[in-house]
Structure formats: C-alpha cells, structure tokens
Amino acid sequence: MELVSFDWWLFCMRWLHILCGVMWIGHLWYFNFTQTPTMPKIPTELRPGVAKYILPEALFWFRWGAMGTIIFGLILAGMNGYLGSAIKLGIGDHSTHNTTIGFGMWLGTIMWFNVWFIIWPNQKKNIGIVQATPDEVRKAARTAGLTSRINTLLSIPMLYCMAGVHFY
Amino acid sequence: MKNPLDSLGQTITLGVVLTIVVILLIHAIA
C-alpha cells in the first residue's frame, strides 16, 4: 500500500473518523456514566470545581469531536461511493451493507444535531457563557441532560451499525 | 411520572431494544 495511494487516504479518513468518534462518544459516556450520577454525591462546596473547570473543557472536546466525526465520516462515505445509497438507507439497492451504514449515519447525524443545536446552546446557559435567570439555567440544564441521555441511548444502535457493517 | 431517561439502566435497556428494532428494520429493508 503506497503512502499516497487512494487506499491509504481512505484508511486515513477512517482513522480520523474513529479518533474523533472516540473523543466524542468517550466524553458522552463520561457525562452519562460518571459525571451526572456522581454530582449529587459531591459536597456542595466542591461542585463549582466540576461546573466551572471540568465541564467547559469536556464540552469543548465533546462538541468538536462530534464535528470531526461527521466531517470525516461524510468524506469516508463519499470516497467509498455509498454516500447517496446510505442516505436513502439502501432502499432499492438490495445492499445490507448500505442499509446498515445508512442507519448508523442517520443515528450519528441526529446525535450530532443534538450536540450542536440542543445540548451546546443549553449548556452555554448552564456554564454562564450566555446570561440567563436561575429558572432558565435550571430548564437549560434539564434539557441538555435529557438530550445527552437520548444520545447515550442512540449511541448503542449507532455503534452496532458502524461496527457491524463489516459483518455484511 | 418519572422519565425513564433519568435512569441510566433504563436508558441502556431502551438502547438495546432500539438496536434490536434497527436490526429487524435492516433485514426488512435490505
């Protein structure tokens, strides 16, 4: 395999897609498996340490991980020649591979939308980047938290499709 | 009524159920 060959670039896009995906889903699972369940157990005076220092940093890598994942994923699908077929879930193409990757891509795209257009705008109120009343902050934190849980739920079938596509 | 998404266990269970639904849809479509 030559360094400048199409196959190498194809592999490179897949590698970058996976790197960004681990960054994204790693942080998603950190929020849902570790941070959120642990917060009520942390003494009140220590909680601002998480909210002011860890959360903004984690949200940065979380949302840009999501952006990198979708960009490299779309490039990868385009280079592989199945982007159009996957978008229409392989309907009419009789390709289990394209239907599977299509479901994975749609689930991932919904999750990316949730990150950038629901979780991040609400977290900006929660961490104080956008000014809001205490009631608005409480609602924003609730909306961001529930949407994060929806993404955790969706990540399970999404990863089945992404990893399982090589089975078909 | 409590939102099932407030429970991590129920979230994972729903994720597994959705995975089964997706597998069935894949095989129904392809």
Residue A156 belongs to a domain? yes
Q: Residue A129: helix, strand or coil by DSSP?
A: coil
Mean pLDDT over all residues of chain B? 94
Q: In this structure, are residues A20 and A72 in contact, taking their beta carbons and an 8 Å threshold?
A: yes
pLDDT one-digit tens code per residue, A3-49: 789 999 999 999 999 999 999 999 999 999 999 999 999 999 999 99
pLDDT one-digit tens code per residue, A98-109: 999 999 999 999
Structural domain for A45, as ranges:
6-167
pLDDT over threshold 90, residue A2: no
Residue A153 belongs to a domain? yes
**Which residue on chain A is closest to B17 by alpha carbon?**
A157
Residue A1 belongs to a domain? no
pTM confidence score: 0.94
Taking an 8 Å cut-off on Cβ atoms, the answer to whether B19 and A154 are in contact is: no
Domain count, chain A: 1
Residues of A in contact with B18 (CB under 8 A): 153-154, 156-157
Sign of CA pseudo-dihedral A19, A22, A25, A28:
negative
